Amino acid sequence: MSSLTPFVSRSLFDDLFRDINPGYFIKPLHGDPLPSQIKVDVKENPNEFIVEAEIPGAGKDNIHVNIDGNVVSIRAEISQVDSETKEDKLLRSERYYGEVSRSFQLPSDIDEASSKARYDNGILTLNLVKKQKQAGQRMTIE
């Protein structure tokens, strides 16, 4: 039996009515909803890989990076909370909470002890130092 997913077609009218009539589809006040996947750029130089991951709305303490050999996993808990004041009466609140993650494999193993991570303005930058390959040792023949 085939496990193909059915093709869902959207017409031009679906997109038109989604944007014109907000009664059927209400966009969040904050813009885009929780991203479905972390977007990354990976660069390589002779000594390291430089990974830039886009994680807007995450706190530095809510980002987790795991390195296992040459596999890098990034996980972040994202929450967006509106501020409230005592003078305001809350009529509508749109918030989102969730977790996004991304794993990818690099061409060579990573030296975890020498690697560094920095998070600034929604961008996580990982400087992942390549593990130096040790030259083969000559075996002693008995």
Predicted pLDDT at 94: 65
Answer whether residue 19 is part of any domain: no
Answer whether residue 119 is part of any domain: yes
- Report which of 107, 141, 128 is spatially closest to residue 47, judged by C-alpha positions: 128
Answer whether residue 116 is part of any domain: yes
Q: Which domain holds residue 76?
A: 35-81+95-132
Predicted confidence pLDDT, tens digits, the chain (142 residues): 445 555 555 555 555 555 554 544 444 445 555 667 899 999 999 999 999 999 987 889 999 999 999 999 999 988 766 565 667 776 666 666 788 899 999 999 999 999 999 999 999 999 999 988 766 677 778 7
Answer whether residue 72 is part of any domain: yes
Report if pTM > 0.85. Answer: no
Answer whether residue 29 is part of any domain: no
**CA distance readout (Å), 2 to 7, 9, 15:** 14, 20, 31
Structural domains counted in the chain: 1
Answer whether residue 90 is part of any domain: no
> Torsion over CA of 17, 22, 23 and 28, rounded to 10 degrees?
130
* CATH code: domain of residue 73: 2.60.40.790
Predicted pLDDT at 24: 47
d(CA 53, CA 111): 19
Predicted pLDDT at 79: 77
